[in-house]
Chains A and B, each alone.
Chain A
């Protein structure tokens, strides 16, 4: 065994991320780590790499381990060779020996099958080439264990093929590989063993020959109960209509509609283009063709203010990066969207704004010391309530929620679901983008499933997770 982890447990501020997980890697094998978002894969990798100390259990490692993340850690302006030997270039008399560096780099690049001049700046390589450089660097550090954390999410099909080939090659050289991916077909091609995580527990280790159905069953296998208190209302007229929305390289011919009083979920794997579509519909990013309509009227392209005027709202997936002004107070954040409407002759009606913010904070039960508290000091769930609250104050006809419960504790989750019910009861339309399958199934009246930037299909609410996953992993001809 290159790596042997036994009975790993890890909690973060009371939330159990890992519970009694066993995991091992042999030399010359590809061991796939499979699970839904939030199942504990990243935490396990961090424990294996020594970033987090486990609360319980032991990790034994023979040989060094390197993790290749989705976000690369190369210096774009430096050459391939300089990146490979970053911080430890071969030296002669204290001076960097460039000739030797190039030779050594060439040998390493051969190992990963990357045929480029070592003096090429890394930024000219493209994302796949950069990944290879990163892998080569790990090998140059004598890593016998490689963890590849969703490397194929950013690759094209041909690039993925090459990466899978190189993984087989490295396996033949005796390297142990841990491979994280959501694409089940890739697993079937390279996996020797598959360990499935669910809710922080290892629910089984399958042979590489396991069927896709078997994998999905282990991965989801959870029943939906009253965690999702969706109260349906009779759907009315179509309030939101996206028709043939296309942006080259991001999403293609995406169409769906939402009626008044309806919640439409948008499910799909990370990278399926869900966030890109809703951002484009809301005017944050441009699109090449297609139309967006609110209550029958077309919304201008790439114009957030027009979208807001038309009655659209977006709670973005990146709460801190795009939803909140962290340096400002709860009141100021709650008033951000309505500020314009409560301005007369350039002057903001601050008292009115404060009163409305106070009312909203109270009705959302935002736990803060006061309206003057900075939002950065609130918990994740309360921050999210503030982001949703600023939109509720504007009372949009259509509210798009992108991963509204990510990093939110269970209690606040249910409160957010109740807000969704409140909106639909008032005849508004809600789009719920979520990677949390039970949530998107439990809270939506219909579920649109996206794969590779396209709508793969639509399912009724309360459908099964297997059906959603089957659509989500669907491949489209290129």
Chain B
């Protein structure tokens, strides 16, 4: 019985570990930077977190299942570009262009999944290749210059009312979807089994290969949505959009308590992880820390978060 109690404590602590860190950050920044704790700024933080959060939700599926997806930044850019191009250059109606963009993300994810499951490539290699291919295709489609997005995409980056930014809403909706997929769906439960022990999952009759297709396709779809959010905020899809975002997404998942060796991870953790990164960036800007130093601080925070997590696990 003592083990139950201590396990529950550990669970609460682990969720609150990242959450406690987030609260400490918020309190500290409120004291140091007077303009931090204003409604407008907090909404900004939410908007800034949205793109990375949606990418990270997709990466949560992949990481829980024991894989990795390095291509999400490039796939986000490509999807947004395909959407913008379809409307601005090909003259398709906005909603159709949006669907084409989202479909692009799914296709890129399916290719990743097929390479990993049927091609037996390590996920790192397959998605590294996709990172390059998708970025290259973005440049090909755009001819290297930004393209205007259709209204429906721009809407994703706008405010419904002064106090209701659409990106924030999208982030919360996808947070809900992620939690639902992970806890209620067959694919979600299979992710934990595959990530925890792929061989045991296979020997229990789970179609590991098909589930991997689903997992990477979901990651691609989420990347496409994140790409639309990013393009919508600028009303323009850029060929160099979201470069390096895959690393932020992975960082958010890991700060949120997921294990890169698979089998562990939750939607709430990832949301908190993405918020930690966004609060940190925003706060450092408010404090007028140079962008050069910001990178140093963010790197240190990632290392610290995972280090604390490892120490916690070891003392168990």
- Which A residues lie at the B interface, using CB under 8 A? 282, 284, 304-305, 307-309, 314, 316, 321-328, 332, 336-337, 339-340, 343, 346-348, 350, 369-370, 372-374, 377, 390
B312 at the interface (CB under 8 A from A): no
Whether B189 lies near A324 (C-beta < 8 A) is no
Whether A322 lies near B203 (C-beta < 8 A) is yes
CB neighbours of B184 from chain A (8 A):
347-348, 350
Whether A339 lies near B3 (C-beta < 8 A) is no
Whether A348 lies near B185 (C-beta < 8 A) is yes
Q: Look across to chain B and name the residue whose beta carbon is closest to the beta carbon of A312.
A: B205
Whether B202 lies near A284 (C-beta < 8 A) is yes
Which A-B residue pairs are the 3 nearest by beta carbons? A327-B263, A325-B196, A308-B205
Count of B interface residues, CB-CB < 8 Å = 29
Whether A325 lies near B4 (C-beta < 8 A) is no
Q: A314-B203, A340-B206, A377-B3 are in contact. List 18 more A-B contacts (CB 8 A).
A: A305-B207, A308-B204, A309-B205, A316-B203, A323-B200, A325-B196, A325-B197, A325-B201, A326-B263, A327-B195, A336-B200, A337-B204, A340-B205, A343-B186, A346-B185, A348-B184, A348-B185, A372-B7
Q: Which of A307, A309, A326, A390 contacts B196 (CB 8 A)?
A: A326
Given A327-B264, A328-B263, A369-B1 in contact, is the A348-B204 Cβ separation under 8 Å? no
B187 at the interface (CB under 8 A from A): yes
Instruction: Enumerate B65-117 residues with CB–CB distance to A below 8 Å.
Output: none
Q: Which of A304, A369, A370, A374 contacts B203 (CB 8 A)?
A: A304
Q: Which of B189, B259, B262 contacts A339 (CB 8 A)?
A: B189
CB neighbours of B202 from chain A (8 A):
284, 304
Q: Look across to chain A and name the residue whose beta carbon is closest to the beta carbon of B263.
A: A327
CB neighbours of A369 from chain B (8 A):
1, 3-4, 7
Whether B203 lies near A332 (C-beta < 8 A) is no
Given A314-B203, A325-B201, A325-B263 in contact, is the A332-B4 Cβ separation under 8 Å? no
Whether B186 lies near A373 (C-beta < 8 A) is no
Q: Look across to chain A and name the residue whose beta carbon is closest to the beta carbon of B64.
A: A327
Whether A304 lies near B200 (C-beta < 8 A) is no
Whether A340 lies near B186 (C-beta < 8 A) is yes
B193 at the interface (CB under 8 A from A): yes
CB neighbours of A340 from chain B (8 A):
186, 205-206
Whether B192 lies near A348 (C-beta < 8 A) is no
Whether A328 lies near B4 (C-beta < 8 A) is no
Q: Look across to chain B and name the residue whose beta carbon is closest to the beta carbon of A377.
A: B3
CB neighbours of A370 from chain B (8 A):
4
CB neighbours of A309 from chain B (8 A):
205
Q: Which of B4, B183, B200 contacts A373 (CB 8 A)?
A: B4
Q: How far is B199's CA from A284's CA once the two chains are assembled, in angstroms?
A: 10
CB neighbours of B4 from chain A (8 A):
369-370, 372-373
Whether B204 lies near A390 (C-beta < 8 A) is yes
CB neighbours of B262 from chain A (8 A):
327
Q: How far is B205's CA from A309's CA once the two chains are assembled, in angstroms?
A: 9
- Residue of B1, B7, B187 most packed against chain A (CB within 10 A): B7
Q: Look across to chain A and name the residue whose beta carbon is closest to the beta carbon of B5.
A: A369
- Residue of A323, A324, A325 most packed against chain B (CB within 10 A): A325
CB neighbours of B190 from chain A (8 A):
339
CB neighbours of A308 from chain B (8 A):
204-205
Q: How far is B172's CA from A395's CA once the two chains are assembled, in angstroms?
A: 42
Whether B192 lies near A305 (C-beta < 8 A) is no
7 contacts across the A-B interface (CB closer than 8 A): A304-B205, A309-B205, A322-B199, A324-B200, A326-B197, A339-B186, A347-B185
Q: How far is B204's CA from A25's CA once the two chains are assembled, in angstroms?
A: 48
CB neighbours of B189 from chain A (8 A):
332, 339, 348
Whether B197 lies near A347 (C-beta < 8 A) is no
Whether A324 lies near B197 (C-beta < 8 A) is yes
Q: Which of B1, B183, B193 contacts A336 (CB 8 A)?
A: B193
CB neighbours of B201 from chain A (8 A):
325, 336
CB neighbours of A372 from chain B (8 A):
4, 7
Q: How far is B263's CA from A314's CA once the two chains are assembled, in angstroms?
A: 23
B217: shortest Cβ distance to chain A, in Å? 14
Q: How far is B1's CA from A340's CA once the two chains are assembled, in angstroms?
A: 32
B49: shortest Cβ distance to chain A, in Å? 28
Q: Which of A316, A336, A374 contacts B206 (CB 8 A)?
A: A336
A92: shortest Cβ distance to chain B, in Å? 40
- Residue of B201, B203, B262 most packed against chain A (CB within 10 A): B203
CB neighbours of A282 from chain B (8 A):
203
Instruction: Enumerate B165-193 residues with CB–CB distance to A below 8 Å.
Output: 183-187, 189-190, 192-193
Given A304-B205, A322-B203, A323-B200 in contact, is the A347-B186 Cβ separation under 8 Å? yes
